[in-house]
Amino acid sequence: MNTQANTPQTTRKPKILVARAIFPEALAKLEESFEVRSNQSDQVLSPQELQKALSEVEGALVAGSERIDAAALSQAKSLKVVSNISVGYNNFDVPAMTVAGVMATNTPDVLTDTTADFGFALLMATARRITESEHWVRAGKWGQWSIVNNPLGMDLHHSTIGIIGMGRIGQGIAKRALGFGMKVIYHNRSRLSPEDEKACGAAYVAKEELLRTADHIVLVLPYTAQNHHTIGAQEIALMKPTATLINIARGGIVDDAALAQALQAGKIFAAGLDVFEGEPAVHPELLKCSNIVIAPHIASATEKTRRAMVDLAIENLRAALDGKKPPSLINAEVFKAD
Ligand code: 8YV
């Protein structure tokens, strides 16, 4: 007699960690195939909690708040994949993940246009002093309106935009700038192909030339040790006193203390910042500046795009745990086809 015929077949569900809150439907779907340890409370795990959680799972969905390095991985004997819900992956120590045989994945493409839209929105708000104007109205100053006594801004149309970091998002911003009749210059680690330069109407220039000649500077480069303080006091000193600086890249690309000093001294016109050194903390001197627009790292934050990011991160995780190559695998050398 086959005794197994009457025994329900229980297939073992792989254990996964979901380190930050995700959309409930996405979590419910994950629970169908995985034994999920989720953190819907959204309290960021301490390094010790993260290390322990990673030691108990085969896969993890994380965000920029989780640092995945040798220490985090030291007990993670069964871990196969860490899937970032983010295109930037400076929270990953990729060499350490590769040494540990852990696949690293991210979420490119799905957020490009949303982030480029936001970069442009932040630029417009900053150059045209939109948040300052709102404060002006709320402070009851509209009665003081005059031709000369308004928050007077800087034009975007027919000005020069300088983009530092000309990946997908940088190119998206360049294409938007063309619609405003702007001259587009850029600086990047490597020059775009002539076809891509043509599509963006963008001219490659040295960093120093960009700093000296751009009316509006937008930072969209990834954070690496080499890019730390790409913009500090020396670089700001090269900029026009009428220039605006927009950072949608990462905290640490700009020396926030030097920027606050420059804004307070009127060395540049204004700054728009979505990312900060040590965020969610904001440098106290930046908070004292009126010529600044501050956002809480929301460049990719539309409902549609955040859902697409979560979906792609899940697709990456599932593929890795199914023995397939994840669509956005960063360290391809770790993947071994079955
Ligand atoms: C994320 C981002 O919201 O994708 C990125 O690189 O900066 C944002 O879209 C953030 O990193 C959360 O993980």
- Extents of the domains making up the chain: 11-110+303-334, 112-294
Which atom number of ligand 1 is nearest to the Cα of residue 64? 13
**Any atom of ligand 1 within 6 Å of the Cβ of 251:** no
Q: Provide the whole-model pTM.
A: 0.94
Predicted confidence at residue 1, as pLDDT, reads: 42
**Any atom of ligand 1 within 6 Å of the Cβ of 253:** no
Predicted confidence at residue 3, as pLDDT, reads: 44
Predicted confidence at residue 11, as pLDDT, reads: 78
* 297 tagged catalytic: yes
Distances (CA, A) of 94 to 73, 321, 332: 11, 19, 11
Pocket test for ligand 1, best of 42, 62, 66, 87 (most atoms within 8 A of CB): 87
* 187 tagged catalytic: no
CA gyration radius for the chain?
Answer: 23
Burial track 147-165 (b if 16+ CB lie within 10 A, e otherwise): eeeebebbebeebbbbbbb
CA 38 – CA 26 distance, rounded (Å): 12
**Any atom of ligand 1 within 6 Å of the Cβ of 326:** no
**How many angstroms does the Cα of residue 300 sit away from the middle of ligand 1?**
7
Predicted confidence at residue 319, as pLDDT, reads: 98
Predicted confidence at residue 2, as pLDDT, reads: 46
CA 63 – CA 85 distance, rounded (Å): 5
Alpha helices in the chain (DSSP H): 24-33, 47-55, 70-73, 94-99, 112-127, 130-138, 168-179, 194-200, 207-213, 233-238, 256-264, 284-287, 303-321
| Averaged pLDDT in 10-residue chunks for the chain of 338 residues | 52 94 97 96 96 98 97 98 97 98 98 98 98 95 90 96 98 98 97 97 98 98 96 98 98 98 98 97 97 98 98 98 97 87
Predicted confidence at residue 9, as pLDDT, reads: 61
Cβ 287 vs Cβ 259: under 8 Å: no
Predicted confidence at residue 336, as pLDDT, reads: 83
Listing DSSP states for 203-255 in one string gives EE--HHHHHHH-SEEEE-PPP-GGGTTSB-HHHHHHS-TT-EEEE-S-TTSB-
**How many angstroms does the Cα of residue 230 sit away from the middle of ligand 1?**
20
Cβ 123 vs Cβ 100: under 8 Å: no
Distances (CA, A) of 159 to 133, 154, 155, 216: 22, 9, 7, 8
**Any atom of ligand 1 within 6 Å of the Cβ of 111:** yes
CA angle, residues 240, 246, 249, in degrees to nearest 5: 135
Predicted confidence at residue 69, as pLDDT, reads: 98
**CATH topology classification for 11-110+303-334:** Rossmann fold (3.40.50)
**Any atom of ligand 1 within 6 Å of the Cβ of 300:** yes
Query: Hey, what CATH class is 112-294 in?
Result: alpha beta
Identical fold between 11-110+303-334 and 112-294: yes
C-beta atoms surrounding 172 within 10 Å: 21
* 279 tagged catalytic: yes
Distances (CA, A) of 135 to 36, 199, 246, 260, 271: 45, 39, 20, 20, 17
Q: What is the DSSP letter of 311?
A: H
Predicted confidence at residue 330, as pLDDT, reads: 98
Which residue among 279, 283, 306, 318 is the active-site one?
Answer: 279
**Nearest to residue 274, comparing CAs of 286, 262, 258, 261?**
286
**Any atom of ligand 1 within 6 Å of the Cβ of 86:** yes
